């Protein structure tokens, strides 16, 4: 199935999933991340702020901050995604141009090569490490600039994990994928 059609299908499927079930599964995903070995070894975490029917990340962001780790959140500026450090969700975030919570300022932006762990959103994933994003290319341009040893993970509801997801040569493979049912390591 072409990427555009798959994006539409997966978006509709996720949007039609009951909100209460999404919230429950998001809590399970958060718990799995917090208990994982890839999280235990990270001091600086890049995490998207969820919007709509995505895996909810607010509780995970709060736990990262409470645990004393450095939390970095995407900010879109001049067509680029920046990694900006925040210290408080309430004080440091505001709706951005796309309606997604993002840092109020790029003053604390860092290069992606300082991040230990990057957790990316997506519409569909497969166990070969492929991720189908939203088509804006922000992560495609951001991820190649990360350190080779930085962990790249995805957060997904189990129904978003497909046998295969279309990919391009420039797509960055995930090292792990966390769903409410499991953590899958891709062995990269």
15 compared with 108, residue with greater pLDDT: 15
Q: What is the mean pLDDT of residues 105-129?
A: 94
Determine the distance from the C-alpha atom of residue 13 to the mean position of all C-alpha atoms in its chain, rounded to a whole number. Answer: 19
Q: What is the pLDDT of residues 123-139, one digit of tens each?
A: 999 999 999 999 888 99
Residue 88, domain member (yes or no): yes
Amino acid 187: pLDDT: 62
Residue 144, domain member (yes or no): yes
How far is 66 from 170, CA to CA, in rounded Å? 35
Buried b (16+ CB within 10 A) or exposed e, 106-121: eebeeebebbbbbbbb
pLDDT band at 79 (very low <50, low <70, confident <90, very high): confident
Amino acid 172: pLDDT: 87
Determine the distance from the C-alpha atom of residue 22 to the mean position of all C-alpha atoms in its chain, rounded to a whole number. Answer: 16
Amino acid 47: pLDDT: 98
Residue 127, domain member (yes or no): yes
Residue 181, domain member (yes or no): yes
Q: How much of the chain, in percent, has pLDDT values that exceed 90? A: 84
Residue 137: give the domain boundaries.
3-98+110-185
Length of the chain as a residue count: 188
Q: Is the pLDDT of residue 188 over 60?
A: no
Q: Is the pLDDT of residue 97 over 80?
A: no
pLDDT band at 118 (very low <50, low <70, confident <90, very high): very high
Amino acid 135: pLDDT: 87
CATH of residue 48: 3.40.50.10420
**Of residues 135, 125, 129, the one with CA closest to residue 98:** 135
Number of domains composing the chain: 1
Q: Is the pLDDT of residue 37 over 80?
A: yes
DSSP 168: -
Residue 103, domain member (yes or no): no
Residue 17, domain member (yes or no): yes
Q: How much of the chain, in percent, has pLDDT values that exceed 70? A: 99
Residue 105, domain member (yes or no): no
Q: Is the pLDDT of residue 119 over 90?
A: yes
Residue 40, domain member (yes or no): yes
Amino acid 184: pLDDT: 93
């Amino acid at each position: 199935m072409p990427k555009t059609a798959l994006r539409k299908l997966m978006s509709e499927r996720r949007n039609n999933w009951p909100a209460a079930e999404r919230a429950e599964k998001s809590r399970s995903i958060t718990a799995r991340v917090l208990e994982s070995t890839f999280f235990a070894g990270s001091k600086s975490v890049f995490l998207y702020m969820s919007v709509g029917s995505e895996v909810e990340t607010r509780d995970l962001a709060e736990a990262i901050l409470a645990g004393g780790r450095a939390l970095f959140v995407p900010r879109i500026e001049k067509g680029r995604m920046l990694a900006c450090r925040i210290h408080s969700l309430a004080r440091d975030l505001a709706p951005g141009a796309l309606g997604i919570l993002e840092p109020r300022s790029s003053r604390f932006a860092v290069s992606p090569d300082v991040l230990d762990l990057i957790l990316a959103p997506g519409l569909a994933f497969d166990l070969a490490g492929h991720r189908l994003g939203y088509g804006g290319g922000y992560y495609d341009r951001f991820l190649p600039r990360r350190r080779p040893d930085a962990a790249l993970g995805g957060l997904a509801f189990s129904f978003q994990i497909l046998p295969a997801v279309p990919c391009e040569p420039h797509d960055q493979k995930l090292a792990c994928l966390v769903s409410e049912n499991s953590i899958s390591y891709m062995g990269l």
